[in-house]
Amino acid sequence: MAQAITLARPYARAAFELAHAAGSLDAWSHALAFAASVAGDVRVARLGSDPRVLPAQLVALHLPADMAADAPFAQFLGEMAEQRRLVLLPEVAELYEAFKRESESQLLVKVTSAMALDAAQAEQLKASLKRRFKREIALETRVDATLLAGAVIDTGEQVIDGSARGRLAQLAGALSH
Amino acid sequence: MSSTTLNPSEISELIKSRIEQFKLGAEARNEGTIISVSDGIVRIHGLADVMQGEMIELPGSSFALALNLERDSVGAVVLGEYQHLREGDTAKTTGRILEVPVGPELLGRVVDALGNPIDGKGPLGAKLNAAIEKVAPGVIWRKSVDQPLQTGYKSVDAMIPVGRGQRELIIGDRQTGKTALAIDAIIAQKDSGIKCIYVAIGQKRSSIANVVRKLEAHGALAHTIIVVASASESAALQYVAPYAGCAMGEYFRDRGQDALIVYDDLSKQAVAYRQISLLLKRPPGREAYPGDVFYLHSRLLERASRVSEEYVEKFTNGEVKGKTGSLTALPIIETQGGDVSAFVPTNVISITDGQIFLETDLFNAGIRPAVNAGISVSRVGGAAQTKIVKKLSGGVKLALAQFRELAAFAQFASDLDPATRAQLDRGQRVTELMKQAQYAPLSIAELALSVYAAEKGYLDDLAVNKVLPFEKGLHAFMHQNHADLMQKIVATGDWNNDIEATFKASLDEYKKTGSW
């Protein structure tokens, strides 16, 4: 079975290219985020597989209130509804954001630290990450006391584990085999 | 972990050395998430930087081998147990391909496909690790096969000689003595200095235990490494085991030594690989094997080779000079109902430098080893045969070939002309002479003596059932009266008029005693 993300990719790319051409990347971003949160609801998911619900009704359900029914985004939703792919909206939104960041040469970095970072630390981290990855850094911080000390930096692909917990795990691995 | 028993001091020593070697630092690695686990196959989302064949670290200190790199996921096969893995677990790349310990420390040991000892004799203490997948030496670094590898079997050494660095396939149905032949070849290396590796793939643990016991009983375990991926182990380990064994053999080859590796057997490895491939949803081809099953065996057997002095010198940075290295492979293939035209047998026949056919009919007729001399060949071994054996064994081959042509007429023996009858008689005796018990390898001097006796007609007037007792007595007689000559032949392999005169005189003398 193909994965949801594989199915979502063509829709996300189409949405991104449409938005990029129209110069409305941020508007699409907000609209997609809204539609994704609607699609993520279990009650909506049940409606999606109900044959009595028409595609047009589903589109109206997912469309943000401030958007016209003939806006390009509404047409995009209409196409997805025709193909019965509205359930993929969360993945589409996620991929869309990735495409958007890529076009802005921005990198989303999730930092989990044992203690909350203060502003100076965050700036310092941002600067050194920018040097390392040669991209603009969008920082997302989280606190997890179970790391004991240090931080884990997750760029989505690369994970830099500088936490005490990670080092202990490394030591445990080295001792057990 | 393997359940080896250690005493407490050894454990703390080990821990100490590991802590000393442990490098602490922030680790930057590619991470992904397991999205499914089924039948030993994990699918992992993420891991954008993973390489084909790379080891992937999974929770619970287990590892997987990345085999399928797809757009949004990586298909990997877990090496060993997979019951503890869950959807959502993290998987990390390691940047390494699978490695096993190598070195002389492994001799006399039994290890699994990943190089962990399973014989309860404690840690290996190997100093080196080697990647299991390596590219075979290129043409420039090779040398042609010109040294013999004695298997100790009359029928093989005389008619289908194997050279060091050759790949000689042993093929036959079940219960035809394939393993016995390979084990005897290992036992025969006791004094030759050739290191041996026996890779058991998909076999019963009881048969493996038997092999280990037999090798030990005949003093052959000390120069042998046994790599085991038994039938109860995962298909991934059965697939990996031959490459692991090969890496252990290459250690000796690259350092100017000679090694012999037996893959017992490659049909089971192909079956294990088929299982992995089908579970990874690769398209099935002939006999449901994947498309790259030929490459599976060709890249393995290509690593068996003879390398030149320059290669050894370059590899060891000048430490070993003027020595060639070799890795001789004896792959084993089991056929079903004698069908050698099935997919895997034809592949391996075409890859190897010759094959030894073992047949059920011959085996049941009491001809053991059940070698069919007519269709067994060695494509390069002739160049490597010892001078004396090469000189003398021609007659045996010819006698057997003529005998096969005439065998159909054997029933009408009384109606045949004397020449034909003589050929039939000679053939029967040579066939009888080629029989040999297990675990009784012959030296080249004994082999030369036996074939000389056959060629010069000393057996012709014996009853067929007296041929083997005659031979046995002859060997004892020679060892008693001409021990120095026998040793000289073993050492040099020469053949000249003096030796022939001694052979002739001794045979005449022995024949007069009539003591067999």
All residues of chain B having their beta carbon less than 8 Å from the beta carbon of residue A113 are none
First to last CA, chain A: 36
Q: Are B430 and B453 within 8 A, CB to CB? A: no
Tell me the two tokens of residue A145.
């006391």
Contact flag B27-A173 (C-beta cutoff 8 Å): no
Closest residue in chain A to residue B32, using alpha carbons only: A157
- Active site (annotated) includes residue B368: no
All residues of chain B having their beta carbon less than 8 Å from the beta carbon of residue A158 are 28-31, 49
Chain A interface mutation, best of B4, B15, B31, highest count of A Cβ atoms under 10 Å: B31
Residue corresponding to tokens 């790259």: B292
Q: Are B21 and B60 within 8 A, CB to CB? A: no
Q: Are B76 and B41 within 8 A, CB to CB? A: yes
Q: Give yes or no for residue B423 having a pLDDT over 60.
A: yes
Q: Give yes or no for residue B3 having a pLDDT over 50.
A: no
Query: Measured between alpha carbons, how far is residue B117 from residues B102, B228, B283, B393, B403 in Å?
Result: 12, 10, 36, 43, 50
- Chain A segment 97-136 residues within 8 A of B by beta carbon are none
- Can you tell me the mean pLDDT for B505-516? 89
- Chain A segment 7-26 residues within 8 A of B by beta carbon are 9
- pLDDT at residue number B127: 92
pLDDT (tens digit, 9 = 90+) per residue, B204-215? 999 999 999 999
**Residue tagged active-site, from B205, B255, B379, B421:** B379
Structure confidence at residue B328 as a pLDDT band (50, 70, 90)? very high
Structure confidence at residue B21 as a pLDDT band (50, 70, 90)? confident
Task: Identify which of A154, A162, A176 has the shortest CB distance to residue B26.
Answer: A162
pLDDT (tens digit, 9 = 90+) per residue, B447-464? 999 999 999 999 999 999
pLDDT in tens, chain A (177 residues): 457 888 999 999 999 999 999 988 999 999 999 999 999 888 888 887 788 888 888 888 888 888 888 888 999 999 998 888 888 999 999 999 999 988 888 888 999 999 888 899 989 988 998 898 888 888 889 999 998 988 899 887 788 888 888 888 888 877 765
Which pairs from B423-426 meet CB under 8 Å and 24+ separation? B423/B399, B425/B460, B426/B399, B426/B402, B426/B454, B426/B457, B426/B459, B426/B460
Structure confidence at residue B411 as a pLDDT band (50, 70, 90)? confident
- Can you tell me the mean pLDDT for B479-485? 92
pLDDT (tens digit, 9 = 90+) per residue, B151-199? 999 999 999 999 999 999 999 999 999 999 999 999 999 989 999 999 9
- pLDDT at residue number A174: 75
- C-alpha to C-alpha distance for B205 and B441, rounded to whole angstroms: 26
- pLDDT at residue number B1: 44
| pTM, rounded to two decimals | 0.88
Query: Measured between alpha carbons, how far is residue B228 from residues B106, B118, B231, B253, B405 in Å?
Result: 13, 9, 9, 21, 43
* Range scoring the smallest mean pLDDT among B9-23, B76-90, B372-386: B9-23
